[in-house]
A and B are shown apart, each in its own frame.
Chain A
Amino acid sequence: DQQVKQNSPSLSVQEGRISILNCDYTNSMFDYFLWYKKYPAEGPTFLISISSIKDKNEDGRFTVFLNKSAKHLSLHIVPSQPGDSAVYFCAMKSKGAGSYQLTFGKGTKLSVIP
């Protein structure tokens, strides 16, 4: 059963508007959450992360929100730019010694229209 779900395979947004990417998870042991961006023929590039002790982390145009009670993670990009067009993956890892592997969603393809 999938522990991490990105229910929107794709999203189109006008340049300058807000992009909101969503991710839901089922494993309550997850305590560190990341977003990666992936261009074609490249590996995932780390964007931003958040630990379970916070509910928001901001870095420039990127803000990640964590709602632990709803087991929901989101990434906001404001303002969206054409160069943001890529596949976005949420990933998470669980707490405890020896916990290191990331569990990924299937990705959401963002298209920012000029």
Chain B
Amino acid sequence: GAGVSQSPRYKVAKRGQDVALRCDPISGHVSLFWYQQALGQGPEFLTYFQNEAQLDKSGLPSDRFFAERPEGSVSTLKIQRTQQEDSAVYLCASSSNSDTQYFGPGTRLTVL
């Protein structure tokens, strides 16, 4: 079956621009996660949804980061007024049981 998909795969933004990153989870997966992976590091947790409810946003680095999942399926991670330190790969994962998480290919964001 189809895995987790993310779009766009690559995004280049000028400093100060707003960006929106999309995640399509595996069909039927209740849990959805966003992670940020900097170069040479492991993924770091950003936020977690159970259906449409955002149960944890403790990993979001600033109030410029906002995530939503209004219908409990597709999710969007929005970054306002991007800064160079936001450059990273943004990974989305979904899970049916919150133990094993299945990742998408990621969106590589480069802020110039």
Contacts and interface: CB of A to CB of B under 8 A. Distances in A.
Interface of A: 4, 32, 34, 36, 41-46, 49, 89, 91, 93, 98, 100-107
Given A34-B100, A49-B100, A104 B105 contact: no
B43 A104 contact: yes
A74 to B, nearest CB: 17
Contacts, number: 56
Nearest to B47: A101
Contacts of B4: 43
B104 A43 contact: yes
Nearest to A43: B103
Contact of A46 (B33, B100, B106): B100
B42 interface: yes
A46 B27 CA distance: 17
Q: Which of B41, B43, B55 has the most CB of A within 10 A?
A: B43
Given A44-B43, A44-B91, A100 B102 contact: no
Interface string B72-112: 00000000000000000001000100111111111000000
A41 B98 contact: no
B56 to A, nearest CB: 7
A107 B42 contact: yes
B102 A46 contact: yes
B99 A106 contact: no
Contacts of A32: 99
13 contacts: A43-B4, A43-B91, A44-B91, A98-B56, A100-B31, A100-B48, A100-B56, A100-B98, A101-B45, A101-B59, A102-B35, A102-B45, A106-B40
Nearest to B45: A101
Contacts of A91: 42
B44 interface: yes
A43 B106 contact: yes
